[in-house]
Amino acid sequence: PKPENAITIAVSSRALFRMEEEQKIYNEQGVEAYVKYQLDHENEPFLPGAAFPFVKALEAVNTQLRQLYPDSEELFDIVLMTNNHAQVGVRLINSINHYGLFIERFCMTGGNSPICYLKAYHTNLYLSSDAEKVSGAIEEGIAAATIFSPSKDLEVSEDQLRVAFDGDAVLFSDESEQIVKAHGLDMFFEHEKAHENKPLAQGPLKGFLEALGKLQKKFYSKGLRMECP
């Protein structure tokens, strides 16, 4: 069960770890060759993927929150989502243990849509490398984002959580963006002027931003504004 007041982050296995080679085998040789490859390499940890530093940063925040509030469950709760076969789960578990990640909950969808599972977990944010699944989650009212693998290695902090939000279609609705696309900038400026006193509707990640703000205030209340991770 979800810890009370926890902020649940669901991360796909292909976002957390680099699995391009394995996916290539699956696409070109089929499921049997894919499973065999995974079993033959089950003691070889996956390389960190694009979402790995983000998950490490979440865990760094949890470590500090546990020190400040030992009895509180208002933490980040990370769930690993995968459509892999159960046999592949061994390699995923071994990889998580290898890197010392604190992920206690796994969800194996068996190739089914993750939507019902995300709802069951009361997910606050879903991260996946599959843009189609992310779009499906957003359509169902679940905050979600597509994780892209960078073309080159980037130095990203694993000790400090850094999150940047776009405004249009992310924190707020895509109403203005749709007007630009459909009618151009002139109509956009007219629309903005006519509705300047009307707040934009909330976007898919507004709820997640508010959840981050709640945790941030827990550091502020301890006088740790400058030390907030």
User: Does the annotation count 159 as an active-site position?
Assistant: no
- Per annotation, catalytic residue among 153, 166, 168, 186: 166
The CA-CA-CA angle for residues 178, 182, 187, to 5°, reads 90
CA distance 58 to 200: 29
Report which of 64, 54, 62, 63 is spatially closest to residue 227, judged by C-alpha positions. Answer: 64
Run of H or E including 10: strand 7-12
CA distance 218 to 179: 39
CA distance 2 to 5: 8
CA distance 41 to 36: 9
Q: Is the dihedral of CA 83, 89, 95, 99 positive or negative?
A: positive
Query: What are the catalytic residues?
Result: 166
